[in-house]
Each structure stands twice: as C-alpha cells, then as structure tokens.
Amino acid sequence: EASVCQADVTSESDCQRIVETCLDRYGELHILFNNVGIAGSGKVTEIEDEVWNRALDGNLKSAVLTSKYAVPKMVEGGGGSIIHLSSIDGIRAGGSTNVPYSVAKGGLITLTKAMAVHHGRDNIRVNCIAPGHIHAPFVADFPNELRKLRQKAGPLGTEGNAWDVAWAAVFLASTEARWISGVILPIDAGLLAATPL
C-alpha cells in the first residue's frame, strides 16, 4: 500500500509532519528510508553558496530531521530500521567534480555509524546503501558515451537500476537483517573492489 504526503524535507516542521502523518495513517513507525538525491557540482574552488546549501540540506539535513522525529516513535513502538541512501561518491572521489554532493553523501555515512551506535540499545538498526552507476532519472540525460564508460567501470560490466537499490533496502528493512547495523552497503557491480588500470 502506498500513501503520499507532500513535504519539503529540508523543513523541520515538514519532517515532523511526515512522521505524524505516518502514525495517523498506520498507527506505528518501524521503517524509515531516507531516499533523497540532490545534485551538487563543482570543485571546492568553484562551489557556489546556493549549490552547497541545496546539496547539504537536501541530502543530509533531510535525513537528520526525519530521523529526529522518527527515532522517538520507533522507540515507542519497540524498534525499527533506518536506511540512508548515500552514494559511492560519498566513499571515494568519482569521475565528476561534485564536491557538494559527495560531501553530503559522505556525511550520511558518518550519520549512519553514529546513529547505529546511539540507538542500537533502542532496538533501532541504522544502515546505509551506497549505489554506484545506476541508470535512473537522476542521470537520464547522460550521453551514451558516458553510460558506456560507467558500464565498463565495474567488474560486472553493467549499469544497475532502481530495483537493485530497492531490493537492498527491502532486505535491510526486514527482520532477516535483524543483526545488521552500522553497515555501508555498496550496490556498485563490484566497482569499489576494483583498481583502475
């Protein structure tokens, strides 16, 4: 069952409203998937204030604010699973100059580890997915030459799709992952295991 709640995830009051809406509709809250992707390009010498703030607020602040209001409700309900969506760009420098995006996604990795430690005794597991070269609307306008390079970069030689990420999230949300917390899971065709020539 899908249910929509329109909100600005960079607004604290809206993040609180999302949690309250979930509780009103379903009675309890046990899973939070912070799945936001806001681009932010440029080297550190090229960063514009607006781009920096948009990337940090959209990718990182949103996860902090939704978690701020979700965690106490999860505690009341006996625990749960929080999953943050990062990126391999949050782990290592990518092929593009995207410092605002990469820093925000790296922040999600640190947030994951801190929250896993801080809320583990509340029976809340916190994990992070770091997708690699996924073909999705976020990169739909990439030229074919770049898509071919992305396909070749990983040992499996293919791009992923949204389902590759979604199934990982389903697993991490499930009771089958009951003993997994504080983990950063690359979904990347083996890219991070490889050393480029």
Which are the catalytic amino acids? 101
Contact between 160 and 189 (Cβ < 8 Å): yes
Contact between 103 and 51 (Cβ < 8 Å): no
108, two tokens = 């999600």
Rounded to whole angstroms, the Cα distance separating 104 from 37 reads 10
- Residue 142 is given by DSSP the state S
Rounded to whole angstroms, the Cα distance separating 135 from 14 reads 30
Closest CA to 92 of 102, 104, 84, 107: 102
* Phi, psi values for residue 156, rounded to 5°: -75, -15
- E strands, 3-156, are 31-34, 80-85, 124-131
Q: Which residue has the tokens 């106490």?
A: 72
